[in-house]
Amino acid sequence: MNEQNNKKQIAVGAFITIGLAILIVGIFTIGGQRKAFIRTFPLQAGFEDAQGLQAGNNVWLSGIKVGTVKKVAFASSAGIEVIMNVDQKARQYIHKDGKARIGTDGLVGNKIIIIEGGTPSAPIVADNERLSGQHYGGTDEMLATLQANNANLLVITGNLKTVSQKLAQGQGTLGQLINDSTLGNDLRASINNLQTASAGSEKIIRNLQDYTAGLHRPGSLAEQLITDTTVFANLKATVVRLNDAANSASVFTEKIKNAGDDITKGLSDPNTPVGLLLHDQETADNLQRTIKNLRVSSKELADDLEAVQHNWLLRGFFKKREK
């Protein structure tokens, strides 16, 4: 009996010892998760909506758990005031211009406080420092947005269905293009023509580039016209003289035209001498007779002069003249 009682006592003692060990490990584990055995300092943050945040939720900084939410209560003014216990070691990474926002641990996890440290040049936060709270859409707002997007998606799907039906039935330009091979061939031919025109344009551009390069070739006339001001000035003076010559030629031509007009007018006017000769037959006959008489008279005068030369009275005079 004594041996049995001793065995029972040993078993009970071992069970109690194991239970106490499990309890102590659990206390330290839970205390470590709750940051119960580390030095902390209080921080505050104000929000318009708590979004389900409760005391005991975690506080995160740069993805690391640095504290827990101590209290969530209504502020004296409108809004929610949150008090946090934050690890003393994290103080150096939180600055006065830091911000806090309410997030979610995972997609549908517990609510958490996410602290943004702020700029390194700003002072470090003191105890009970109040951080500016930022509001981001919660789960309800996200679900409302998803519902609106779903409604829009249904409308877009219906429109796509209608468009695809019209395309399959060959309605519209695009439907005809898909179902009518003739339009496809015409479009292909147009594309080929565009490619040909593009190749021609490239050739023209290359020719223009070569021509431009030739303009800048040293020693060429174009290069001298561009760079040598003397050649350009001479060319400009030559153009001015050509313009003056053209103007003079125009004036001379106008005078010749006027003279021709006067001659034409005189030929057509029977009152002028030339017109009288052209239009009066009697005057023309008289002129012909006068010319004929002049010819006869000149011949008779020549005969008379020859007879005078043979006269013995004037023979000596003509001999002296010949000498």
d(CA 165, CA 272): 98
pLDDT at 249: 79
- Examine the pLDDT at 224 and tell me if it is beyond 70: no
What's the angle, vertex CA 148, arms to CA 143 and CA 152, rounded to 5?
A: 145
- How many Å is the maximal CA-CA distance in the chain? 219
Expressed in percent and rounded to 5, the helix, strand and coil fractions of the chain are 65, 15, 20
| Number of other residues whose CB lies within 10 A of the CB of residue 157 | 10
pLDDT at 157: 86
- Examine the pLDDT at 240 and tell me if it is beyond 60: yes
d(CA 245, CA 251): 10
pLDDT in tens, 75-133: 877 788 999 999 999 999 999 999 999 888 876 678 899 999 889 999 999 999 989 88
What's the angle, vertex CA 60, arms to CA 58 and CA 61, rounded to 5?
A: 160
Asked if residue 284 lies in contact with residue 275, where contact means CB atoms within 8 angstroms, the answer is: no
For residue 56, give the nearest of 88, 18, 23, 84 by alpha carbon: 84
DSSP secondary structure string for all residues of 26-40: HHHHHHHHTTTTS-E
CA distances from 101 to 2, 45, 112, 117, 166 (A): 66, 9, 8, 12, 50
What's the angle, vertex CA 243, arms to CA 241 and CA 245, rounded to 5?
A: 70
DSSP secondary structure string for all residues of 252-289: HHHHHHHHHHHHHHHHH-TTSHHHHHHH-HHHHHHHHH
For residue 58, give the nearest of 97, 105, 121 by alpha carbon: 105
- Examine the pLDDT at 64 and tell me if it is beyond 70: yes
Domain ranges of the chain: 35-136, 139-169, 180-224
Task: List, as own/partner pairs, every contact residues 316-322 make where C-beta atoms lie below 8 angstroms and the sequence separation is at least 24, other chains included.
Answer: none
Higher-scoring residue by pLDDT: 222, 151: 151
pLDDT in tens, 241-275: 888 888 887 787 887 877 767 666 655 666 666 56
SS3 of 89, please? helix
pLDDT at 70: 92
Beta-carbon contacts of residue 128 (< 8 Å; ≥ 6 apart): 42, 43, 44
CB half-sphere exposure, 161, CA atoms < 13 A: 6
d(CA 97, CA 29): 34
pLDDT at 308: 62
Q: What is the pTM of this model?
A: 0.38
pLDDT in tens, 275-321: 655 566 676 677 777 877 787 777 777 776 666 666 655 566 666 66
What confidence category does residue 66 fall into, taking pLDDT thresholds of 50, 70 and 90? very high
- Examine the pLDDT at 167 and tell me if it is beyond 90: no
Higher-scoring residue by pLDDT: 27, 301: 301
Least confident of 14-18, 86-90, 170-174: 170-174
Percent above pLDDT 70 for the chain: 65
For residue 216, give the nearest of 207, 205, 225, 204 by alpha carbon: 225
Q: Which residue has the tokens 């031919």?
A: 189
CA distances from 236 to 3, 222, 231, 250 (A): 138, 14, 8, 21
CA distances from 14 to 22, 26, 105 (A): 12, 18, 40
* Mean pLDDT on 168-190: 71
SS3 of 175, please? helix
- Examine the pLDDT at 60 and tell me if it is beyond 70: yes
d(CA 117, CA 213): 63
Torsion of Cα atoms, 64 then 68 then 69 then 71, to 10°: -160
- Examine the pLDDT at 33 and tell me if it is beyond 60: no
* Mean pLDDT on 188-217: 80
- Examine the pLDDT at 5 and tell me if it is beyond 70: no
